[in-house]
Amino acid sequence: MTNYRIVVLPGDGIGDEITHVTVDLLRAISSKHKFKLDISYEDFGGSAIDKYNDPLPIKTLNSCKASDAVLLAAIGSPKYDNNPRDQRPESGLLRLRSEMELFANLRPVKTRHALLEASSLKPEYIKDVDLLVVRELTGGIYFGKPKAKVNTDNISRAFNTMVYSDYEINRIAQIAFELCKNRRKLLCSVDKANVLEVSQLWRECVNSVSKEYPDITLSHQYVDNAAMQLIRKPDQFDVILTSNLFGDILSDEAAMLTGSIGMLPSASINLDGPGLFEPVHGSAPDIAGQDIANPIAMILSASMLLRIGLQEIKAADDLEKAVDMVLTDGYRTPDLLSINTKKVGCKEMGNKILQSLNEI
C-alpha cells in the first residue's frame, strides 16, 4: 500500500477548525482508496512566533522539504502587525514558498451550480466561469532587491523593486501553456507593459514561449483592464498568466465570482519537489473559534493535493463530488447563505461532506 508523508500546517485563526474537518476527510478518503497517509503537524505562522520567535522554524521547513506534500490552512493575526518584518506570519509563508522553490501558484475558479445565487454578480455572468489563475510566486516585487525603509534628512522613504529575469518568466509561462493544453486553449497574459519595463520583458518572454505552443491562442491584457474584464465578462478567461503581485490581487477578485473567497483552493508547485496546498483566504481572526468558518476552500485544496501532489485522481474526484453533493443539498456556512439554504457550522459542514463521501 502506498504511504504518503503529508505535513499539515494549521497556522492561525480559523486554521485549527478547518484543518480538523479537512484531515478527517483525508483519512476517510485514504482508507476508501487504499493508500496510507502519514500525517504530521508542524508549527507555522503566528503560533510558531509565539513558541520560537520564528514564523518558520527550521524543523518545520525540514519536514516540509522531506514530505510528499504540504497542506496549509491559513496564517496571520493583527497581534503581529507591529512585529519586525521577519517576525510576522506572512514572512514565514514567503520564506516557505521561496525555500521550497514553489514558483507556480495555481488558483482555479469555477462556478458551482448550486452557488449561482451566492455571488454578488448576476447568475448569467458567472454561470460559465471556469478559469485558472497561474501566478508567479517566488519573484517580482515580493522578493525584488533593493528594498528598504530609510530616513535621510528627516524624510522617510520606502521602496521595493519589481524585477524578473527571463528564465523566471519563461518557466512560469511554460507551466501556464502546458496547463492550457487540457483546457479551452486560451491563454491571457496580464501585465502593465504600457508603463513598466519589467512588464515589457514579461510580454517578450511570453510571446517567445508561445511559439512552442501553436495550438494555444495567446492574448495580452493590461492589469487594470483585466481587473475590469473579470467583472464585465469573466467567462472570456480560460488561463490567466500573471506576475506575483498582479496575481495576488486578481485572484482575490476572481474568488468573489464564485460567491465567497471561502471556496477557493490553490496549489503552489515546482517541477519536481513537494507542493504546498492552501486555501486562498486568510486566517479570519474575527471569526476564529466560533465554528462558523467555511472549510470548503481547504477541503478543495486537499483535493488539489490528492490530484496534483499525489496523483490520486479518483480520490480527488470523490472529494470534489462529495462537496458538490452537500452544496446541492442546500447546506451552507454563513458566508454563502442565501434564501432557501440551510445554515451549518464548520464541523457540521465537514460531517455532511463525510456522509456524502460514504454514499459515493
One-letter amino acid identity for 246?
Answer: F
Binder of residue 93, out of Mg ion, ligand IPM, none (CB less than 5 to 8 A by kind): ligand IPM
Omega before 146 cis (within 30°)? yes
Q: Is the dihedral of CA 261, 223, 94, 63 positive or negative?
A: positive
Q: Which residue is nearest to Mg ion (CB)?
A: 248
The reply to whether 93 sits near ligand IPM by the rule CB under 6 A is yes
DSSP class of residue 123? H
- Indicate which residue of 142, 164, 213, 331 is catalytic: 142
The reply to whether 90 sits near ligand IPM by the rule CB under 6 A is yes
* Residue 198: closest CA among 154, 140, 130: 140
Find the length of the chain. 360
Among the residue ranges 38-46, 62-70, 86-94, 314-322, the one whose residues contact ligand IPM (CB under 6 A):
86-94
Q: Is 38 among the residues known to form the active site? A: no
- Indicate which residue of 50, 128, 166, 224 is catalytic: 224
Long-range contacts of 177-180 (CB under 8 A, 24+ apart): 177/209, 177/210, 177/212, 177/213, 177/216, 179/106, 179/132, 179/134, 179/239, 180/213, 180/216, 180/238, 180/239
The reply to whether 248 sits near ligand IPM by the rule CB under 6 A is yes
Q: Are strands 275-279 and 36-41 parallel, antiparallel or unpaired?
A: unpaired
Cell 470523490 sits at which residue? Answer: 318
Least distance to ligand IPM from the beta carbon of 91, Å? 8
Binder of residue 12, out of Mg ion, ligand IPM, none (CB less than 5 to 8 A by kind): none
One-letter amino acid identity for 252?
Answer: D
- Indicate which residue of 12, 164, 192, 335 is catalytic: 192
Q: If DSSP codes are grouped into helix, strand and coil, which group holds residue 354?
A: helix
- Indicate which residue of 16, 24, 130, 252 is catalytic: 252
Residues forming a β-bridge with 241:
134, 189
**# chain residues binding ligand IPM, by CB under 6 A:** 6
Binder of residue 238, out of Mg ion, ligand IPM, none (CB less than 5 to 8 A by kind): none
Residues forming a β-bridge with 134:
106, 241
Among the residue ranges 89-97, 193-201, 225-233, 298-306, the one whose residues contact ligand IPM (CB under 6 A):
89-97
296's torsion region: left (phi>0), alpha (psi -120 to 50) or beta?
alpha
Binder of residue 348, out of ligand IPM, Mg ion, none (CB less than 5 to 8 A by kind): none
Q: Is 142 among the residues known to form the active site? A: yes
Q: Is 128 among the residues known to form the active site? A: no
- Indicate which residue of 248, 318, 331, 335 is catalytic: 248
Longest dimension (CA), the chain: 70
Tell me the per-residue interface mask from 191 to 230 with ligand IPM, x by CB under 6 A, - otherwise. Answer: ----------------------------------------
Least distance to Mg ion from the beta carbon of 254, Å? 11
Beta-carbon contacts of 103 under 8 Å, excluding residues fewer than 6 positions away, are: 136, 137, 138, 139, 168, 171, 172, 270
Q: Which of 248, 278, 312, 320 binds Mg ion (CB under 5 A)?
A: 248
Q: Is 248 among the residues known to form the active site? A: yes
Cell 525555500 sits at which residue? Answer: 99
Residues forming a β-bridge with 332:
343
Beta-carbon contacts of 356 under 8 Å, excluding residues fewer than 6 positions away, are: 321, 322, 323, 325, 326
Q: Is 252 among the residues known to form the active site? A: yes
**# chain residues binding Mg ion, by CB under 5 A:** 1
Nearer to ligand IPM, 70 or 94 (CB): 94
Q: Is the dihedral of CA 65, 70, 249, 214 positive or negative?
A: positive
Least distance to Mg ion from the beta carbon of 138, Å? 15
Among the residue ranges 30-38, 115-123, 197-205, 248-256, the one whose residues contact Mg ion (CB under 5 A):
248-256
Least distance to ligand IPM from the beta carbon of 16, Å? 18
Nearer to ligand IPM, 46 or 345 (CB): 46
| Residues with a known catalytic role | 142, 192, 224, 248, 252
- The residues binding ligand IPM (CB under 6 A) are 76, 90, 93-94, 248, 280
Chain residues in the site for Mg ion (CB under 5 A): 248
